[in-house]
Structure 1
Amino acid sequence: MGIKSFMGKRAAPEKPTETRISVRDYMTENLVTFREHENIMDVMEKLIKHGISGGCIVNEKMELLGMISEGDCMKEISDSRYYNMPMSDLTVGKRMVKNVQTIDGNMNVLEAARKFTEMKFRRFPILEDGKLIGQISQRDVLRAAIKLRSHTWAH
């Protein structure tokens, strides 16, 4: 005589709902952008006003021309004081970083985290068909990790 179990049939474990994990799902789309001809002082004011540490420089077709950061502005302040040059005639185009690293919107957001740590950048622009469609920051990746943890990672 065998031992009988009094446990009922166990339900199959629930599959977690599929969580979207591409960079595109976590990028910021409503960006503060700048133009090449803007004065560096105006850019600094916008950075402070919007509480951001940098942004993309685009043309009228939303094609990416470069990036400007607080650090770039700090360098300008330092150089202007050192060389006794007025900042009032300095444009973003003269200080922006032109060789910009972008990130694929379809990349897994966890892969993006690795790219952030390897390259030491604070943000990456995302292009589609040559046009700026968004930007992902370190903070966006942190938000994604928190959201993903609640769906997929062991607590």
Structure 2
Amino acid sequence: MGIKSFIGRRVKPNKGFSEKIKVSDYMTRNLVTFRPEQPVIEVIEILLRKNISGGPVVNSRNELVGIISEGDCLKEISDCRYHNHPMEDVTVEQHMIKEVDTIDGDMNVLDAANKFLESKHRRFPILENGKLVGQISQRDVLNAAMRLKGQSW
């Protein structure tokens, strides 16, 4: 009565298949973006209305300048209450994360999964020629995995 392994026969993956699973195939291109001069109170309203947890901040040339998240907004709410000053005058630029990690749209989506695990980020913007073209989230990677579950990784 030993332990039996029910691992199926290993199948060789199709040559080159995993290299074709690119981030750009699964990233979101139609993004909600924010501007540095935008009031944080407006960002909070948009986050709630769109049911998102944050988004990229771009300048007038669509160049990525930061990321703002629910956590950044929560910190501002707390600071405003503590210091008793109105939120209407507080801008995204004052509270966004300015050092943003990005990934390449040509990266394998499974390698992107590892980047998420290493970094603890919830999203990565994707740039082309310095311009924001999309974003991949942990959810996008999960969707890719579900679409590919019947195929060899």
- Do they fold alike, i.e. is TM over 0.5? yes
Counterpart-to-counterpart distance in 1, 2:88 and 2:149: 48
Which residue is 2:51 aligned to?
51
TM superposition shift of 1:152: 2.3
Which residue is 2:128 aligned to?
128
Q: Can you give the 5+ residue segments of structure 1 that lack an aligned partner in the other structure?
A: 1-14
2:144 maps to amino acid: A
Which residue is 1:27 aligned to?
27
TM superposition shift of 1:108: 0.5
Counterpart-to-counterpart distance in 1, 2:145 and 2:119: 19
2:138 maps to amino acid: Q
Counterpart-to-counterpart distance in 2, 1:129 and 1:84: 43
Residue 63 (structure 2) pairs with residue 63 (structure 1): yes
Residue 37 (structure 2) pairs with residue 37 (structure 1): yes
5 Å-filtered alignment, 1:64-143, equals 64-143=64-143
Count of residues in Structure 1 that have an aligned counterpart in Structure 2: 140
User: Secondary structure of 2:55's partner?
Assistant: strand
Q: Deviations over 1:58-82 (max 9, x none)?
A: 0111100100000000011111111
Identity of aligned residues (%): 60
Counterpart-to-counterpart distance in 2, 1:143 and 1:21: 12
Counterpart-to-counterpart distance in 2, 1:95 and 1:43: 11
Which residue is 1:6 aligned to?
none
Larger of the two Rg values belongs to structure: 1
Counterpart-to-counterpart distance in 1, 2:108 and 2:85: 45
Which residue is 1:8 aligned to?
none
Which residue is 1:148 aligned to?
148
User: Secondary structure of 1:146's partner?
Assistant: helix
Runs of 4+ in 1 over 4 A off after TM superposition: none
Counterpart-to-counterpart distance in 2, 1:128 and 1:150: 31
TM-score between both structures, scaled by the size of structure 2: 0.86
Q: Can you give the 5+ residue segments of structure 2 that lack an aligned partner in the other structure?
A: 1-13
Counterpart-to-counterpart distance in 2, 1:68 and 1:111: 25
User: Secondary structure of 1:48's partner?
Assistant: helix
